[in-house]
Chain A
């Protein structure tokens, strides 16, 4: 667990503090997304965890250990770090880039080679095809995959990710999100993730910490941030489409109505689909309701516009 306790930081020549008396936790194995407009202090907060920035006040601990007890280099080698723009070393191959931290930690050659292959596989890059390539030969999405592989190289329990999927087109970004969640599902890292994109925060976060002017405005699950924004600022940041974002978080099974509703409609969606997908299908087909099937293609219920509306009248727990 990463614990931020009463942390403050001011930069010289700055009018106001970058971070003010900030406290929150990143529980072990969870993804906490820091979100806010540029200059809200989210990147500064992240950079204080691996001591690229030193706080003026407060403490930061990882699994109970104060980060100041480590030498900065030792600390950083135990924390995965992925940033916007990736920052791959242009004079090294993909394999050499991934091997940086294991190399710094003095791993044996064979172990590094094995680990590099394993990681490129993990992020969906064919090791034989990509290991020998140079960064300038990669597409934006491929470079960001290598960036993630590099951050995971020494199997650090904690990952810091500062808009790691920032510079790619929306389609690629969605794919990277799906892959990241699949990896996280397996590896269960403790992840602090910075973004300014609410869709990304909702898609990836177990919890969301909304920041403004160096202070925490709201921290909660994505569902609750969307349903109950703490104030006007969060509401405006969440955006006018927050209802649709909520739909994309909820599986159709949460608004399941009797099968009879979808009688006469030959179509159905999978039980793993989101309510947003179901609603889109309903609008597309011009029907009042649509069936829901399980993995064996048996109808288990239906979803209608009414059942979706009802679902959102219920308070969230």
Chain B
């Protein structure tokens, strides 16, 4: 949380960016992205990441739980193949294909990012749930827990550290991937990166890249903290 505060404070200090990037590129006139201040870029980027990651987490968790239930076990291979495919498919192509249906802007970007982020969550949800020891499941059922009680009170809590590790990977990768959203006009850190590329203004590209790297590090630390707390508070299942 401290890291997030520090990050936002630095992003809000626009004069600081002008001074630092100006010093790094002496003689360069175009220092900062002209259409939005760094903090506005952070807001745009966070919107992309938070919405798409929320969808990834919800879908990944739901699918992971489904394919580890008796009723969904038959779908395990299909779901696994599809999400693997989703990850091998270049996100740029997903944007391009989604634009005719969803138009430009936030929506196609969120769809592509959400699809892209499912796999790590799904994979870790399945690994975490399958890692719960058989005798623990046996005693939970044998003592009269209903399937839902067993899932919520035993399986998910024991799988939580592994699931959070998957969420962490998904979110951090998402921060970097979301820069491509600028192609579809979704804004975010991709906007200065592409702007700098097109106008041969390296300072502007660096502005976007630094902001993206900083956010990735901050979210990684934040989720790493959650993961660590879950894993150390008690023994995990895996």
How big is the A interface, by class? 20 to 34
Chain A residues with CB under 8 Å of B138's CB are 52, 83, 87
The A/B interface has a contact count, at CB < 8 Å, of 68
Q: Is the CB of B144 within 8 A of A104?
A: yes
> Does A236 touch B at the CB level, under 8 Å?
no
User: In the bound complex, how far is the Cα of B140 from the Cα of A86, in angstroms?
Assistant: 11
Give bound CA distance, A50 to B146, whole Å: 14
Chain A residues closer than 8 Å to B133, beta-carbon distance = 85, 87, 90
CB-CB under 8 A for A91 and B143, given A84-B135, A104-B149? no
Q: Which residues of B contact A74 (CB under 8 A)?
A: 144
B139 near A50: Cβ-Cβ < 8 Å: no
Chain B residues, CB < 8 A from A160: 142
CA distance A73 to B141 in the complex (A): 8
Contact B149 A52 (CB under 8 A): no
Verify B142–A90 contact, CB threshold 8 A: no
- Whether B234 lies near A91 (C-beta < 8 A) is yes
B-chain residues with CB within 8 Å of residue A84 when the two chains form the complex: 135
The CA of A83 and the CA of B141, in the complex, are separated in Å by 12
B121-143 vs A, CB cutoff 8 Å, 1 = contact: the mask equals: 00000000000010111111111
* Other-chain residue from A75, A90, A104 in contact with B158 (beta carbon distance below 8 A): A90
B15 to chain A: which residues have CB within 8 Å?
A: none
A89 with B140: in contact, given A83-B135, A134-B235, A136-B235 (CB under 8 Å)? yes
* CA–CA, A134 and B157, complex, Å: 15
A86-B139 contact in complex given A74-B144, A77-B144, C-beta closer than 8 Å: yes
- Chain B interface size, as a band, is 20 to 34
> Do B234 and A134 touch (CB < 8 A)?
yes
Residues on A with C-beta less than 8 A from B176 are none
| Across-interface contacts of B145 in A (CB, < 8 A) | 73, 100, 104
B4 at the interface (CB under 8 A from A): no
A188 on the interface (CB 8 Å rule)?
Answer: no
Per-position 1/0 for A15-54, Cβ under 8 A of B: 0000000000000000000000000000000000010100
Q: List 16 A-B contacts (CB under 8 A).
A: A73-B144, A76-B144, A77-B144, A81-B142, A83-B135, A83-B139, A85-B133, A87-B136, A87-B137, A87-B140, A88-B139, A89-B158, A90-B234, A91-B158, A104-B149, A150-B139
Residues of A with Cβ closer than 8 Å to B?
50, 52, 72-77, 81, 83-91, 100-101, 104, 134-136, 150, 160
In the complex, given contacts A88-B136, A104-B149, A150-B143, what are 11 additional A-B residue pairs having Cβ atoms less than 8 angstroms apart? A52-B142, A77-B144, A81-B143, A83-B142, A85-B135, A87-B133, A87-B135, A87-B140, A91-B234, A100-B143, A135-B235
Query: Which B residues have a C-beta under 8 Å from some C-beta of A?
Result: 133, 135-146, 149, 154, 157-158, 234-235, 237
Q: Which 3 A-B pairs have the closest CB atoms?
A: A87-B139, A77-B144, A87-B135
